[in-house]
Chains A and B, each alone.
Chain A
Amino acid sequence: MRILVVGGGTGGTILANNLTRRLAGEVRAGKIRITMLSDSDRHMYQPGLLYVAFGQMTPDQLYRDQASMLESSIAFHVDAVTEFHFDKNQVKTKSGKTHEYDILAIATGARIVPQEVPGLSEGSENFFTEEGAVRLHKRLMEFQGGTVAMTVSIPHKCPVAPVEAMFMLHDFFKARGIRDKVKLRYHYPTNRVHATSNVAQWAKPEFDRAGIEYETLFNLKEVDPVNKIVYSEEGSAVKYDLLIAIPPHRGSEIAEKNNLGQAGWIPTDRFKLTMNGHDNVYVIGDATNIPVSKTGSAAHFEAEVVAENIASVIKTGTPVREYDGKVYCFIEAGYDRATYNAFDYVNLPVLKPPSKAIHWFKVAYNQMYWTTVRGLL
């Protein structure tokens, strides 16, 4: 039996390693072969980009060699998939090869598309790519005063990132001794400061305490990079000196090119994590269209469910469990405090007051991530 994992990021790596361990006997006996195709020989710890923007990590700290993250029996090829042929159980790759599978898992992630908003690429900075985070850090270090505005376009990875970034901006400018010269303005698409009501209830008084101004029901329409003004769909116009954008996202380019789903989000059963209409194709992580947050945490828990189910179906003919929507995310509340957000399809997150202990746990997790993707933690 051939199992093919496409995408060597958080979800794909956890899935491939977990599955290889569960099926160690079958793999050793040559009954099962697990292959991974990715378009990069490196693996990036994306949450670290936030810290790069604030000078707390350097880009080289965010990468590991992907081959070193994988169980040695996994056949790993750096060869991007270019075409999916579900009717033939085949994918084609950039190098011209065809890979056949019995079970396919797609974990090709999401990408930013600032070009969807007129003027956004030219007029803003962001921390969603390495290049962006490095440039933003430089801009922040050079900033001498004025209005720093943040706009949030959706959908986007890591729903709490905008809130975290605002608290970190507050502490960053405090540490530089120029907080009184900086106006921090936050703009959010829904009618609260965060889409999740309990996060909003917690963040609003924290914003007030930190002197962070906010405007809700602000859906970014366009940016005038020359006059430095952002316009919302709702009709407001805001002047800025430095614009930090949470850019809109789409699914991977390959998902979009193959018309796997609207805007590249692949239609997926939110419990079974199979692609709609294809029982032998699983989709995990940012690539899906399921209504959970696009986080490494969701990708991780989904990967575990899929690994358990594939292994169980192979061994007993029956899957073991469904994905329950579980997500666990740290929320940095500044430079030295954090809280967390844990929820599933049934239970709403209940936020605890931020503490230093949780912040230090997040800092530790930034390193522990590598043991998590290897499947050791």
Chain B
Amino acid sequence: MSQVKIVDACNTFCPGPLMELISNMKQASVGDVLELLSTDEGSVNDVPEWVNKVGHELVSSQNIDGIWHIKIRKTK
């Protein structure tokens, strides 16, 4: 069964939210949804760009109280 895994990358710069997401994505199974939490404004563009290029699925992206919650489904 697929599951939502939180990747809390708030307040981190090095290696940063996208790297945390990619690392966690490698460990996930196809169908899993990862929810990246990021305080880095850059994530709003960086994450979808990477997701599109690799071919995963962007499920949602919203800012709640200054924290970006970006959900991605692993598709391959």
A residues neighboring B (CB under 8 Å) = 154-155, 159, 189-191, 195-197, 199, 217, 219, 233-234, 248, 262-263, 291-293, 325, 327, 341, 343, 345-346, 348-349
Contact = CB atoms under 8 A, between A and B. Distances in A.
Interface string B3-19: 00000110111111111
Contacts of A197: 16, 42
23 contacts: A154-B26, A159-B15, A189-B19, A190-B18, A190-B19, A190-B46, A191-B18, A191-B46, A191-B50, A195-B15, A196-B13, A197-B42, A219-B54, A233-B54, A234-B54, A248-B26, A291-B9, A291-B17, A292-B12, A293-B14, A327-B14, A343-B13, A345-B12
Mostly, the B contact residues are helix
A349 B50 contact: no
Contact of A217 (B9, B13, B42, B49): B49
Contacts of B14: 159, 195-196, 199, 292-293, 327, 341, 343, 349
Contacts of B42: 197
Nearest to A189: B22
Nearest to A291: B12
Nearest to B9: A291
A195 B54 contact: no
A262 B3 CA distance: 15
A217 B27 contact: no
Interface in B1-48: 8-9, 11-20, 22-23, 26-27, 42, 46
Nearest to A250: B27
A188 B53 CA distance: 13
A234 B53 contact: yes
Given A154-B22, A219-B54, A349-B14, A291 B8 contact: yes
A246 to B, nearest CB: 12
Given A291-B8, A325-B11, A325-B12, A191 B49 contact: yes
Given A190-B46, A262-B27, A291 B20 contact: yes
Nearest to A347: B13
